[in-house]
Amino acid sequence: MKDITEQLQKFGLDAMLFSYMNNIFYLCGFKGTAGQLFVTRDDAFLITDFRYLSQAKEQTEDVTIIDIANGEKAVFDKLIKEYNIKKTGFEQSYITYEKFLQLKKIFEGTKLFGVKGTVEEMRIVKTGDELKLLSRACEIADTAFETVFPRIKEGVTELEIAAMLEYEMKRQGASGASFETIVASGKRSSMPHGTASTKPLKSGEFVVMDFGCVFGGYCSDITRTVAVGDISDKMRDIYTKVQTVQEEMLPLVKPGAACKAIDAESRKMFKTWGIDKYFGHSLGHGVGLDIHELPNLSPKSPYTLEENMIVTVEPGIYIEGEFGVRIEDTVKVGVKGAERLTKSDKNLRICR
Ligand SMILES: [Mn+2]
């Protein structure tokens, strides 16, 4: 069980109730899909159901496991009394209004206090064990791409490519995709989040593939854009520009750099070519237990990079009705700049 004394003190809380499973896993190691973690200044309690009781005992240390069959209200009444709880923090971003109403009843007579981003901030800098899992998740995605690449050709549908990528990742031990695989070809490639459709690939098109997997709970995220057959000079030109921006941003991803400054730099480069209006999303985001987590490389990001943070660098240009190009790596913030975890070739590749 990780220490959250600092977080409790920051908001003057007697206890904190966690309900987001990735945060619960991060704090106490429980890998189940249902449960609540209640942490007082002295002790931690995992309240879960019959399905997870023995697993919870195996996966956690210094945590008391409580069966919810005892009645949620009765369980909390006892804890509130025993630990003299007057103010409890809860994760406001992850509970429904219905759950909030329940909590109000359960914690009646005491204060509830909405908290946001506390564990998420603890999760920003990765440990050695986390880095190993993230590297492996990225390596699996790279290998899947290399394996599938020779099968990308005219006539194959976007969904077939998505299925092949996901199959290859699972074959290597991934538990699943880290988000719905994006395979967008032709005009569809100008939709930054065009999930795979039944559209077959045609000669002269770009195919944007944005995918990743979960390995040991940790995510990977990579995007490659490839050409099917001969493409226009304009397409080649835009590809080169996106690649140039992506590669020039990597040395900036080092400790002390302001996230928003790196995002601004990428926009400035596109602006010199007069194409910045086609780059409508953030430059990147953190990756870990969640596919999108802190810190963001975005215009308003308040974060400064530190060693061993993990971010994506993913500039893109999307020309509606024509085509889109995005190139993305998941990288580790290193002293000398980004250390790539996804290593697939980024030079324009043509499928025949
Ligand atoms: Mn991404």
pLDDT in tens, the chain (352 residues): 999 999 999 999 999 999 999 999 999 999 999 999 999 999 999 999 999 999 999 999 999 999 999 899 999 999 999 999 999 999 999 999 999 999 999 999 999 999 999 999 999 999 999 999 999 999 999 999 999 999 999 999 999 999 999 999 999 999 999 999 999 999 999 999 889 999 999 999 999 999 999 999 999 999 999 999 999 999 999 999 999 999 999 999 999 999 999 999 999 999 999 999 999 999 999 999 999 999 999 999 999 999 999 999 999 999 999 999 999 999 999 999 999 999 999 999 999 8
| Residue 248, CB-side half-sphere exposure with 13 Å CA sphere | 16
What separation in Å is there between the alpha carbon of 158 and the centre of ligand 1?
Answer: 19
User: In a 3-state reduction of DSSP, which class is residue 185?
Assistant: strand
Is 141 within 8 Å of 342 (Cβ atoms)?
Answer: yes
Amino acid at 7: Q
Rounded Cα gap, residues 271 and 86, in angstroms: 54
**Cβ neighbours of residue 167 under 8 Å, at least 6 residues apart?**
none
Chain Cα centroid distance, residue 172? 20
Is 297 within 8 Å of 113 (Cβ atoms)?
Answer: no
What separation in Å is there between the alpha carbon of 286 and the centre of ligand 1?
Answer: 9
What separation in Å is there between the alpha carbon of 28 and the centre of ligand 1?
Answer: 27
What separation in Å is there between the alpha carbon of 167 and the centre of ligand 1?
Answer: 20
What separation in Å is there between the alpha carbon of 314 and the centre of ligand 1?
Answer: 7
Question: Taking the complete model, does pTM exceed 0.85, yes or no?
Answer: yes
What separation in Å is there between the alpha carbon of 129 and the centre of ligand 1?
Answer: 22
Rounded Cα gap, residues 288 and 178, in angstroms: 10
Q: What domains can be seen in the chain, in order of their start residue?
A: 5-122 (3.40.350.10), 128-351 (3.90.230.10)
**Cβ neighbours of residue 350 under 8 Å, at least 6 residues apart?**
226, 227, 228, 229, 230, 231
Beta bridge partners of 331: 311, 340
**Nearest partner of 163 among 147, 146, 181, judged by Cα:** 181
